[in-house]
Structure 1
Amino acid sequence: MPSPLKAGTGRLGIMVGLREEARLIERFFPQAVIALSHAHEAGARRALQQLRQGGAEELLSFGCAGGLDPALKPGTILLADSVVAGGERLPSSEGLSRQFDLGRGVMHGAIVHSPVMVGEVAEKRALHSRTKALAVDMESGVVAQSGLPFAVLRVICDDAARPLPPAAASGLREGRVYLPGLLGSLVRQPGQIGALMVLGRDAAQARASMKTYLENLAELPAKRH
């Protein structure tokens, strides 16, 4: 079992999109309050309310992100120094972010919030050009606008050069795989099977990369309080 980690001085609330992400992070922060957005913005706002009700005093946005910078490959760890949301660039808490910084194997830069899934290569390219953000997700903007100290720890799942297959959206419901939606999408567009297999491989690589990162972080006594 990994050594428990504690971040900052207040009670930590962690927002994740998917149940797999929740299962991973709770191993390392068993005392934290964790809430799922189910990978959509309305869910993120409900999750924020749950975190507040659970007594969270500082927040972490955790999980996968879509790559916008062409140089970032699946499995790249990102510790965001700011979040672009609602036309603003909101800085993350330096003190809190430092608690998640391994000091190696992590990229620093901005992440942009999107209310919808950004799946097309042209959309990713345009968003990167407009914001200069390294990656995109659907939770960090809600966390950043909460008014609480926050940090963002994300891992690139899909890179900027590869579009997301339609089944990536229709095959998710309530933060887990939704088999009827997945199969229905594949029946309608069987040509996406190859892309879906690649996405599955990249997602597995991303999870493994984040797990290793957290395990290494847990081995540093200076990161624990």
Structure 2
Amino acid sequence: MPARLGIGVVTGTQADAALARALGLRVASCGGIAGRAEDLAEELVDEQGVVALVSFGLAAGLSPALPAAAVLVASGVMPEQGGRPLVTDDVWRTNLLRSLPQALTGLVLGVERPLLSAAEKGELFAATTAVAADAESLGVAEVAARRALPCVVLRAICDPADADMPPAAFAALLRQGEPSLTAALRRPRDLPALMRTVRQVRQARAALAAALPVLADCLPHRAVRAAPP
């Protein structure tokens, strides 16, 4: 489908990238490196000719109102250092929210480090208006703004605001897409948190897989017309 070929998707993990590739979307995965997301979005535009950009994958919850597996269609992305948020495409976002009635909306905070503690997430929620955070969305939104391309952020919460994530779980999440319980052999006290994180990651990815098929159908008509044949 031409519309799908015109969509460039940037993810944080290869597991999330595989979901998008299965639908024929053009995908790049940055391994959770914030600066790399911006570079990959530029490459999708310059080398693959995409006419719309998506930040897709997992996110940390900042708002206590977002449980694990909550689907978020972000209203915009704000830098942690402050400044005006970069808004997502109004038409594409509105179409997605209509097609995904269970989805929530709100600002995403662009961060360059893992948010592993509930205390830090709580501090960021109190200091900003963001409801979730990830490492890729800000770079993708910046490229879309420079290139005047429609952009949306489609994320699912794998790490709610009230949960601590063991460092080993985060490292495994970036490396293989899901935390490994073998990390508990080195730190048995982390086992309950690791088991919870594994469950929440699986729930979040299932929610993403269910939401993804409507992405291209919701693309604004102006982008569909510009999509590659």
Which TM-score band (shorter chain)?
A: 0.7 to 0.9
Greater relative CO (CA pairs within 8 A, separation 6+): 2
Paired residues of 2:107 and 2:132 also in contact (CA < 8 A): yes
Q: Which residue of 1 aligns with 2:7?
A: 12
Find the aligned partners of 1:106 and 1:98 in 2 and give their Cα distance.
11
For structure 1, which runs of at least 5 residues remain unmatched after alignment?
none
Identity of aligned residues (%): 28
Q: Which residue of 1 aligns with 2:62?
A: 68
Matched to 1:80, the amino acid is A
More strand by share: 1
TM-score normalised by L of structure 1: 0.83
Q: Which residue of 1 aligns with 2:227?
A: none
Out of 39, 50, 60, the residue aligned to residue 56 of structure 1 is: 50
RMSD (Å) for aligned C-alpha atoms: 2.8
More helix by share: 2
TM-score normalised by L of structure 2: 0.81
Matched to 2:43, the amino acid is Q
Find the aligned partners of 2:2 and 2:95 in 1 and give their Cα distance.
9
Find the aligned partners of 1:6 and 1:222 in 2 and give their Cα distance.
7
For structure 2, which runs of at least 5 residues remain unmatched after alignment?
225-229
| Gap change, CA 1:68 and 1:83, over 3 Å in 2 | same
Task: Count the aligned residue pairs.
Answer: 214
Find the aligned partners of 1:151 and 1:222 in 2 and give their Cα distance.
10
**Deviation larger for 73-82 or 161-170:** 161-170
Q: Deviations over 1:92-145 (max 9, x none)?
A: 111232343315101011111101111111110011111121100000010111
SS class of match (2:21): helix
Q: Deviations over 1:32-70 (max 9, x none)?
A: 321001112133233223313222222100011111110
Find the aligned partners of 2:193 and 2:156 in 1 and give their Cα distance.
19
Matched to 1:16, the amino acid is T
SS class of match (1:205): helix
| Gap change, CA 1:199 and 1:191, over 3 Å in 2 | same
Q: Is 1:125 aligned with 2:118?
A: no
